Amino acid sequence: MLVCITILVMIRIYAAKSSEKPRKKTTAKTQPKTPVHIPLMSEEGLDFMKVYDLTWKPSRERPAEFSPEIQKIVNETESISSLVSELTNRLNDPEISAQDIGKLIATDQGLTSFILRRVNSPYYGLIQKCDNIFNAIVILGYNEIHRIVMEERIRKMGVKPSKQEWIHANLTSHIAAYLAMTSRVRMPVGTLVTLGILHDIAKDIMAQKLPRAETDPPTDPRQRLKWEIEYYGIDHATLGAALAKAWRIPERMCSCIEQHHWPMFWPFREVGKLSPNVVNEITFLSIADVAAKNFTQEIQGTYIGDDYYGYIRKAPKMERILAAELMPDLKRIARIGAEME
């Protein structure tokens, strides 16, 4: 009897030990994964740092006040519709549906008509006419509809972008959204679409509301900022942020507009320390900005440091950023802009 009891006890002990192993494995598998941390690249000995060895850099301090002339522009420029902020927030929601977006847009009859006219234009080449806002959203996709909404809202404000600026804004917006959707660094696409359209909007406002300059602005983006400051006392990024703030655009988006040229002057690590909350948005927007200018041949090459490209896990090569799958849409945007009145 004692032998039997001993054997049973040994069997139970063995069974208990055997059952512990799979429990440990199961626990390991079910533990939530921690976010992937992408370490900042070391800057020591890297040749790309030479790109930041510049004789002139803009101030990183936000002006405490503006000149009366600039303040008048900020006060008198009509506010962008609150629908822009609401649509941006909705598009950042992964659970959003075409019906949700359609219901939001359908509250504005003029906007709905504008979208349907654009959708049925020859540039999209639809075989069958689209007469329903919901179908338009399904056919073109959320990001394309968002860009069309932004175009209509900006025109309604009384700001008529030049062909060059319209093309650049839409190219930047499209590229930024593509980079966000193909990068391991997660970013709200709706935010990038809005930033792509608005980041240079002050260029057109400056051209339309400030005295005409005696010379044309330089093509090089860095020299353009210096030229604006010397001639107007303010650059378009700073003015754009002030306008966005007056329009009650979220503060983090205002900061992105204000700082979207910083990667042209300072490395990722430095910008990350100064603006840790928006460095992701700034990185995507700046790379998209550079890529758009490469597409239109305003500049050539990666222009900003490899550290920014490395952060979003993209090779610092324009032929890799301007991927083949992007080209049909970018060419279509260029054609639409070229035909604008």
Q: What is the mean pLDDT for each group of 10 consecutive residues in the chain (341 residues)? A: 46 45 38 40 57 93 91 92 86 86 90 90 82 89 90 88 94 96 89 95 93 88 96 96 93 96 96 96 98 96 94 93 95 88 67
The residue behind tokens 């093509």 is: 219
Compute CA 308 distance to the chain's CA centroid, rounded to the nearest angstrom: 14
Provide the pLDDT for residue 35.
40
Closest listed residue to residue 243, CA positions, set 277, 209, 193 = 209
**How is 235-262 classified by DSSP, letter by letter?**
-HHHHHHHHHHHTT--HHHHHHHHHTTG
Query: 266 exposed, middle or buried (CB, 10 Å; 0-12, 13-18, 19+)?
Result: buried
Map residue 128 onto helix, strand or coil.
Answer: coil
Query: 19 exposed, middle or buried (CB, 10 Å; 0-12, 13-18, 19+)?
Result: exposed
**DSSP category for residue 157:** T
Residue span(s) of the chain under CATH 1.10.3210.10 come to 160-341
Q: How far is it, in rounded angstroms, from Cα 261 to Cα 283?
A: 10
The structure's pTM equals: 0.83
Provide the pLDDT for residue 341.
67
Question: 160-341: which CATH number, 3.60.20.10, 1.10.357.10, 1.10.3210.10, 3.40.50.10470?
Answer: 1.10.3210.10
Of how many residues is the chain composed? Answer: 341
